[in-house]
Amino acid sequence: MKKITLFILFILFLPLVSFGQDQKKAVYFYSETCAHCEQVNKYFEEQHIYEKYDIQKIEASGPYNLDYLNKFFDVFNVSVEERGYPVIFVADKMIYGSQSIIDSFVQEIEQVDASEFPTPEKIKLSLGEKGNNIADKKAETSISLSILFWAAIVDAINPCAFAVLILLVATVLSSKGKKEGLLSGLLFSLSVFVSYFLMGLGIYKAIGAFNLPQIFSIVIGGIAIIIGLANLKDFFWYGKGFVMEVPFSWRPKMQAIIKRVTSPWGAMGAGFLVSLFLLPCTSGPYIVILGLLAQKEDLMRSITLLAIYNLIFVLPMIVITIGMYFGIRAKKLENWRQQNIRLLHLIAGSIMLFIGIYLIYTWI
């Protein structure tokens, strides 16, 4: 009889015991190939988050899991272009991006009743009309395509790249003819695209290896302003002090490399070498974009954005190559470059100044 009584008491008090030990719940989407997800996982392990809370981890790269993640994003009205991971859902809240999760996950989950795993249906019922506001907030934290476009334009109109390409195509045209000159210019543009893309990807990974605070975006904005002011200096006082181009002392060596090119494959090799000369004078806008990508975007989306950026960067090279193939003389193009070099710096400086002010303004 005593054993039966104890058993009945145990059954009656079991729900209370379970309730007292119940952990708050969250759903966490990640990818095995995502560097930012690795940062979150490392933080969760170091802070024993997995022991403190019941976190359902879902590898998002599979088709079924990706569809499930998209249902969550649909509830928050997140556009297709803005979707990615790491992202974690707590009650009716979405926390997107490694730094946001690291900074605010514990605070957010402690402020809500997270006794159940969130689902798209439960969140939709809870949010009501709040989903649009959250989507707007998410849109503000993701890198704007317009910023990437204008930064790439600044790189694309850099006088250094114009001068190098004009000299190279003219050299091959004079020795091998129009067809070889066209192919040389296109292969040179391709090699610059590849080298810049790979260097950018390496810098992105290096920046992403550190857990940088959101204040980093303000620092990036400050760098953009400095680059803008430096270009404006070249508009008013070109050649004095320093120039936002390849240093004058480097140019003879770079020109010597180009003048030795006599074939399309040589032009492709020269493109990789010349990229090392061009990077210091064209890297300003690139560093700004790479900093923003490392802070706000996952690897797969960053690869796409880097490809778009560098395609814009080499587009004027392709246009100049085609123009020279159809008869535009190198001397005429070089004269145009020399006559408009200050104007190019004015345009670049104005764009970078605007980007820097915008980035700082959005974080203050």
What is the DSSP code string of 117-176? ---HHHHHHHHTTHHHHHHHHHHHHSPPHHHHHHHHHHHHT-HHHHHHHHHHHHHHHHHH
Q: Which of residues 106, 141, 176 is at a domain's end?
A: 141
**Whole-number pLDDT of residue 363:** 57
**Whole-number pLDDT of residue 357:** 83
With respect to residue 318, please indicate whether it lies within any of the assigned structural domains: yes
Assess whether 43 and 185 both reside in one domain.
no
Place of tokens 């290896």: 209
pLDDT in tens, 252-287: 776 676 667 667 777 777 777 777 666 656 667 777
Q: Which of residues 73, 106, 141 is at a domain's end?
A: 141
With respect to residue 204, please indicate whether it lies within any of the assigned structural domains: yes
With respect to residue 3, please indicate whether it lies within any of the assigned structural domains: no
Assess whether 202 and 340 both reside in one domain.
yes
Assess whether 215 and 283 both reside in one domain.
yes
Number of domains in the chain: 2
Assess whether 203 and 326 both reside in one domain.
yes
CATH of the domain at 52: 3.40.30.10
Place of tokens 């996982």: 41
With beta carbons less than 8 A apart as the criterion, state whether 306 and 313 touch.
Answer: no
Range of the domain at 60: 21-141
Assess whether 206 and 137 both reside in one domain.
no
Residue-wise burial string across 226-243, b where 16 or more C-beta atoms lie within 10 A, e elsewhere: ebbebbbbbbeeeeeeeb
Distance separating alpha carbons of residues 286 and 224, to the nearest angstrom: 10
Assess whether 246 and 341 both reside in one domain.
yes
- The reported pTM is 0.56
**Whole-number pLDDT of residue 141:** 43
With beta carbons less than 8 A apart as the criterion, state whether 46 and 211 touch.
Answer: no
Assess whether 207 and 315 both reside in one domain.
yes
Distance separating alpha carbons of residues 342 and 334, to the nearest angstrom: 14
Distance separating alpha carbons of residues 279 and 271, to the nearest angstrom: 12
With respect to residue 137, please indicate whether it lies within any of the assigned structural domains: yes
Assess whether 79 and 153 both reside in one domain.
no
Assess whether 152 and 251 both reside in one domain.
yes
Assess whether 188 and 260 both reside in one domain.
yes
With respect to residue 5, please indicate whether it lies within any of the assigned structural domains: no
Assess whether 172 and 239 both reside in one domain.
yes
Give residues with Cβ within 8 angstroms of 60, minimum separation 6: 29, 30, 31, 66, 69, 85
pLDDT in tens, 135-193: 444 444 455 677 788 888 877 777 666 666 666 667 666 666 778 878 877 888 888 88
**Whole-number pLDDT of residue 290:** 80
Place of tokens 């706000």: 296
Assess whether 197 and 339 both reside in one domain.
yes
Nearest residue to 75 via CA among 56, 93, 87:
93
With respect to residue 13, please indicate whether it lies within any of the assigned structural domains: no
**Whole-number pLDDT of residue 330:** 63
**Whole-number pLDDT of residue 216:** 61
Q: Which of residues 82, 114, 141 is at a domain's end?
A: 141
With respect to residue 279, please indicate whether it lies within any of the assigned structural domains: yes
Regions of the chain where pLDDT drops below 70: 1-22, 128-144, 159-169, 171-176, 208-217, 239, 243-251, 254-255, 257-259, 261-262, 276-283, 295-298, 330, 334, 362-364
Residue-wise burial string across 166-199, b where 16 or more C-beta atoms lie within 10 A, e elsewhere: bbbbbbbbeebeeebbbbbbbbbbbbbbbbbbeb
With respect to residue 92, please indicate whether it lies within any of the assigned structural domains: yes
Give residues with Cβ within 8 angstroms of 20, minimum separation 6: none
**Whole-number pLDDT of residue 282:** 60
Place of tokens 């058993």: 7
